[in-house]
């Protein structure tokens, strides 16, 4: 028997449902309070529940999955195309239901509690790093208004303030001196928070087997290993390393008509945080590695540096998927074998 498909638009307090009755063909709509959602689905036969992959979606996916339902998380951008006219909760739920009928829309894998906890550490660290950068830039701009010019860079700017504080204070009125003290004290607290998060992330890297494996890949450090391990899970959410790399926006976008296809710049889809970690890691490998792969050396000779950086980042993304999906250890001398089956036939056609 085919399962009923529910389109569920989630929110903080009010949830909207859209489905079609399998027996009568009647279109059903229902608005539920947050507290009533689990009770509603607990009384239903196992069904397919589609939601947008947005805030709290993974929580509800775990809750509804625990009740025996099949939960699918759809990319919000691809659901938006199915909103017919005015946007409201009922229209969103209908759009989710319609999008769920299209099997070519890739579903986002549901994260476990442990995966979300690790990624929360990364999000918090990224937040405090941005706060630190903004605080230093604000302090730099305020001092500039009083004729104090700090050199570029976080360390150089703070070092100059410390070394020349007496000279700087001569140029500042009393309220501004107190403001500088306050901002410097704030920066100390932010640095402490970042250090604590770094220590917690390093501890997660020691505990996660997948993170320890990914740490062996050149260009992947503690941040990259833990974030990639938490994102991949068991890697079953992606059919191949190529699909995983594409989901991170590490492939060129393309458009075409009339049989002509134009390949453009990077698509930059997916998680920008993971993409940034991979690209920075690839750039470090190119700059510091004494021995580089032959294909990378050849690419560097004929293409711009940034093209080679992204190509290596793409290769790293494919590698980490393969290591997690197949449970292998990293081997620098590994040679991949051509695919078998219809995929190989399509490549040779």
CA separation for the pair 344, 163 (Å, rounded): 65
Confidence at residue 40, expressed as pLDDT on a 0 to 100 scale: 95
CA distances from 19 to 31, 78, 86, 140 (A): 12, 19, 19, 56
pLDDT band at 348; cut points 50, 70, 90: very low
Confidence at residue 341, expressed as pLDDT on a 0 to 100 scale: 56
- pLDDT tens, position by position, 73-124: 999 999 999 998 888 999 999 999 999 999 999 999 999 999 999 999 999 9
CA separation for the pair 318, 228 (Å, rounded): 11
Q: Which DSSP category does 108 fall into?
A: B
Termini Cα distance of the chain: 39
Closest CA to 51 of 19, 3, 23: 19
Average pLDDT value for residue range 12-21: 94
Average pLDDT value for residue range 187-210: 96
Confidence at residue 180, expressed as pLDDT on a 0 to 100 scale: 94
Confidence at residue 332, expressed as pLDDT on a 0 to 100 scale: 81
Is a pLDDT exceeding 70 seen at residue 346?
Answer: no
In sequence order, what DSSP letters do the residues of 270-322 get, joined into one string? Answer: S-HHHHHHHHHHHHHHHHH-SS--HHHHHHHHHS-HHHHHHHHHHHHHHHHHH
Confidence at residue 337, expressed as pLDDT on a 0 to 100 scale: 72
Delineate the domains of the chain, giving CATH numbers in brackets.
5-100 (3.30.420.40), 113-207 (no CATH), 212-344 (no CATH)
Average pLDDT value for residue range 64-68: 95
What phi, psi does 165 have (nearest 5°)? -65, -40
Confidence at residue 338, expressed as pLDDT on a 0 to 100 scale: 64
- pLDDT tens, position by position, 206-264: 999 999 999 999 999 999 999 999 999 999 999 999 999 999 999 988 888 888 888 88
CA separation for the pair 338, 214 (Å, rounded): 23
Looking only at the bridges linking them, the beta strands covering 5-9 and 27-33 are: unpaired
CA separation for the pair 89, 335 (Å, rounded): 51
Burial class (CB in 10 A: 0-12, 13-18, 19+), 273: middle
Q: Which DSSP category does 48 fall into?
A: E
Average pLDDT value for residue range 304-309: 95
Question: SS3 of 12, please?
Answer: coil
Average pLDDT value for residue range 126-153: 94
Q: What is the pTM of this model?
A: 0.87
């Amino acid at each position: 028997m085919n399962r009923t498909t529910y389109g569920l638009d989630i929110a903080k307090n009010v949830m909207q449902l859209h489905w079609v009755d399998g027996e009568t063909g009647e279109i059903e709509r229902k608005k539920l309070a947050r507290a009533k959602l689990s009770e509603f689905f607990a009384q239903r036969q196992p069904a397919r529940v589609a939601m947008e992959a947005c805030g709290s979606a993974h929580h509800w996916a775990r809750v509804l999955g625990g009740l025996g339902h099949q939960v699918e998380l759809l990319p919000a951008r691809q659901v938006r195309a199915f909103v017919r006219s005015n946007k409201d909760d009922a229209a969103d739920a209908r759009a989710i239901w319609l999008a769920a009928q299209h099997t070519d829309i890739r579903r986002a894998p549901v994260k476990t509690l442990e995966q979300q906890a690790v990624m929360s550490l990364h999000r918090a660290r990224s937040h405090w790093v941005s706060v630190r950068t903004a605080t230093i830039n604000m302090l730099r701009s305020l001092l500039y208004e009083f004729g104090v010019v700090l050199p570029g860079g976080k360390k150089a700017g703070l070092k100059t303030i410390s070394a020349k504080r007496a000279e700087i204070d001569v140029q500042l009125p009393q309220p501004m001196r107190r403001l500088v003290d306050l901002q410097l004290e704030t920066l100390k607290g932010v640095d402490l928070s970042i250090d604590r998060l770094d220590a917690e992330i390093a501890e997660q890297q020691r505990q996660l087997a997948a993170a320890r494996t990914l740490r062996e890949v050149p260009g992947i450090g503690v941040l990259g290993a833990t974030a990639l391990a938490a994102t991949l899970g068991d890697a079953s959410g992606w059919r191949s390393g190529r699909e995983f790399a594409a989901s991170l926006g590490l492939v060129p976008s393309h458009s075409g008509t009339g049989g002509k296809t134009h390949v453009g710049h990077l698509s930059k889809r997916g998680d920008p945080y993971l993409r940034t970690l991979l690209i920075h890691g690839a750039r470090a490998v190119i700059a510091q590695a004494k021995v580089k792969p032959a294909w990378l050396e050849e690419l560097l000779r004929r293409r711009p540096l940034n093209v080679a950086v992204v190509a290596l980042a793409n290769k790293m993304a494919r590698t980490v998927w393969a290591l997690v999906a197949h449970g292998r250890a990293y081997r620098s001398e590994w040679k991949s074998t051509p695919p078998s089956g219809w995929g190989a036939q399509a490549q040779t056609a």
